[in-house]
Amino acid sequence: MRTRNALAALVLSTLCLVSLPAFAGESEAQSFIEQKHGKISQLLRQPSTASRDGQVDQELGITFDYDELTRRIFGMCPAGISCVDNWTSLSSAQKAEMTGLFKKLVQKTYRKNLMKTLDYDITYKGSRATVQNESKIRTEAKSKVKPRDPSVQIDYVVRGSGEAYRVVDIVTEGSSLTANYREQVAKMLREHDYAYVAKKIGDKANAP
Q: What is the mean pLDDT of residues 133-154?
A: 91
19: pLDDT strictly greater than 60: no
Burial class (CB in 10 A: 0-12, 13-18, 19+), 7: buried
Beta bridge partners of 167: 64, 158
Containing domain of residue 6, as a range? 2-206
- The total domain count for the chain is 1
Burial class (CB in 10 A: 0-12, 13-18, 19+), 120: buried
Listed range (34-43, 63-72, 112-121) with the worst mean pLDDT = 112-121
For residue 102, how far is the Cα from the chain centroid?
Answer: 11
6: pLDDT strictly greater than 50: no
pLDDT in tens, 80-126: 667 788 999 999 999 999 999 999 999 998 898 888 888 899 999 98
10: pLDDT strictly greater than 80: no
Confidence of residue 16 (pLDDT cuts 50, 70, 90): very low
Greater pLDDT, 5 or 64: 64
Contact 32, 59 (CB under 8 A): no
Task: Please give the full DSSP string across 53-114, using - where no structure is assigned.
Answer: HHHHHHHHHTTB-HHHHHHHHHH-PPTT------STTS-HHHHHHHHHHHHHHHHHHHHHHH
CA 37/CA 15 separation, integer angstroms: 23
- Residues 6 or more apart whose Cβ sits within 8 Å of residue 9: none
Q: What is the CATH number of the domain that holds 18?
A: 3.10.450.710
How far the first Cα of the chain sits from its last, in Å, is 29
Contact 194, 91 (CB under 8 A): no
Cβ count within 10 A of residue 144: 9
